[in-house]
Amino acid sequence: MPDALGPLGSLPARMPMCRLADRSAILTLCGGCRIIMERESIRMTTITRTINDLGPHVARRYPFHSKFANVNGWRMHYIDEGPPNAPPVLMLHGNPTWGYLWRDTIPPLLRAGYRVIVPDQIGFGLSEHPHNASAHSLDNHAANLVALIDQIDLNGVLFVCHDWGGPTGLAALLTRRHRAAAVAVMSTWAWRTPASEFHQQILPWRLMHAPIVGPYVLARQGGFPGRGIYLSVVDRERFLADALPAYEAVLPDPDDRRLTWQWPRSIPIDPSTDITGERFEWLEAGLRALNIPATILWGREDEVFTPDVMGARWHEIWPHAEGPHLVTGKHFLQEDSGTEIGHILVEFAQRCIPIPPKD
């Protein structure tokens, strides 16, 4: 089946992992436009750590086995838990989190008998952290997810998408429609910017776009993994004790935090400078034509993507979608209601991708 995004699943691999490498890739975008990334020196952080290397607290709260896959030349960390032949649930995080975000959502799905796959997007978590801008385009991240889906041969997948896991995961879904069975979205978007009223505000959005201050605060000072998430959860004391160390541990170096400020800056202040606009138009059009079960989950207190406006916007795309199911939470709703979200997903999955009866 041809790739909807062009040859996303077959980008050339780079040389064996090292501190400096050359990479050449050609991406085919919608409408037949071709973008060529010339050979360039690419700095990266070679990741060799596993979940257990992050300390006893993280290992206890995220007690899963680390796996790695080579996706388009990058080393992607993921977990793959549950019966290998069970219906798969693919859970996709956004910025600046990693698979740890889903730690409370995973157990209800496993207890219900589902297979759960949670990758760390390239640039986050225990995956490899490229330091160059070209590695972090929407198309490249979608291609990385497509490569993982193909490598571990997932079929009948429930895609669960949050934040930037929405645009990247939904683009991967459209590229592999024949592998998708259902979809769940939460605090995310899939249309041309501005994505929401939050993205039109002077603060903090213009701070992120500032040429010097933005990278300094978000990368050098680690503002997004720390204060950025802290301000977007309800139970902040719990977050400080339970989650903050896990998010900071995987982004220790300012260069490793590049994606935490690069992704926000790809949502422009001025729509006239929107270089991703055509891609999001393609994405929205494809989702409108998608006829699979869908559900919407949202945090009641979400200030980034307000539930009333965004729920209505998603229902424009998917009139048949369930929800929005509202839970306690702001933008990072999994931090406050992870277990409840897990139960909602179990009920949805049991209707859409039921566990086959045992012989």
State if pTM tops 0.85: no
Q: Check residue 228 and give its pLDDT.
A: 78
Put the strands of the sheet holding 129-130 in their side by side order.
20-28, 34-45, 129-130
Q: Distance between CA atoms of 123 and 256, rounded to whole angstroms?
A: 7
Q: Check residue 86 and give its pLDDT.
A: 98
Residue 352: strand, helix, or coil: helix
- Which residues does 295 contact at the CB level (< 8 Å), separation at least 6? 182, 183, 184, 185, 321, 322, 323, 325, 344, 348
- 44-352 fold: Rossmann fold (3.40.50)
| Strands 74-81, 115-119: pairing kind | antiparallel
Q: Check residue 252 and give its pLDDT.
A: 74
> Looking at the chain, how many residues does it have?
359
Q: State yes or no: cis peptide before 194, omega within 30 of 0.
A: yes
Q: Check residue 39 and give its pLDDT.
A: 28
Q: State yes or no: cis peptide before 252, omega within 30 of 0.
A: no
Locate 9 and state its tokens: 């699943």
Asked whether 94 and 188 are in contact (CB, 8 A), the reply is yes
Averaged pLDDT in 10-residue chunks for the chain of 359 residues: 41 32 32 30 57 96 98 97 98 95 99 99 92 82 98 98 96 98 97 64 54 51 64 95 92 64 59 70 97 98 93 97 98 98 99 90
Half-sphere exposure of 21 (CA within 13 A, CB side): 18
Locate 159 and state its tokens: 């895609």
